[in-house]
Chains A and B, each alone.
Chain A
């Protein structure tokens, strides 16, 4: 069965600095999607970035970028120029190409220090 592991329960970073959140996953599939979602205290899960496994180029969305290492089954999220509004729980999620359910990690709580 596929699993997603986030080994950092909590991370903190100074405002305007860069932080990297880690995620590893286990799968025997070759075609899949990976996602990072953000869940602020308001509880609404917000999609931050997605990566298709067949794409070699790492996805980027403004200050958010990923380091996708398919062979190592690693998918880390880098947040540049951290802002107070980035404070939230961050979840890594996996979905097979031909499947519909998202499989989630346990989350990393990101604290931004002003």
Chain B
């Protein structure tokens, strides 16, 4: 049974560009959450998707958007990249509101 998978592993973008990160949840899970983890800090909640809708959002600007597909996989999109968006982006899946299982993350570097 595959766990949570994320792609790509690493990504380098230039300021002002747009990026899409992808996440496939653990089998049987229907909920996907996204977190941003800056170097040396704890993760910060971006948003959660359930039944293809954004169920809850953290304190992030509208440049951060997402999507959940009928197969429960999810995308995180970030527009107009800033240097401060450089971070590890973690995806977590769960069954409804139960405990969250994390993927290995995508390391985004903005230059």
- A binding-site residues for B, Cβ under 8 Å: 4, 33, 35, 37, 42-47, 50, 91, 93, 99-107
Contacts and interface: CB of A to CB of B under 8 A. Distances in A.
Contacts of A104: 42-44
A101 B46 CA distance: 9
Contacts of A42: 104
Interface centre among B43, B56, B97, B107 (most CB of A within 10 A): B43
B88 interface: yes
Contact of A100 (B55, B103, B104): B55
A101 B92 CA distance: 11
Nearest to B42: A104
B102 A45 contact: yes
Chain B interface, DSSP helix/strand/loop, else mixed: strand
Contacts of A99: 56
B34 to A, nearest CB: 10
Contact of A102 (B40, B41, B45, B105): B45
A99 B100 CA distance: 13
| Interface bracket on B | 20 to 34
A101 B45 CA distance: 6
Contacts of B33: 100-102
A91 B5 CA distance: 21
B99 interface: yes
A101 B42 contact: no
Interface in B23-55: 31, 33, 35, 40-45, 48, 55
B95 interface: no
A88 to B, nearest CB: 13
A50 B99 contact: yes
16 contacts: A44-B102, A45-B43, A47-B101, A50-B99, A91-B43, A100-B31, A100-B55, A101-B48, A101-B56, A102-B33, A102-B35, A102-B45, A103-B45, A106-B40, A107-B41, A107-B42
A58 B64 CA distance: 38
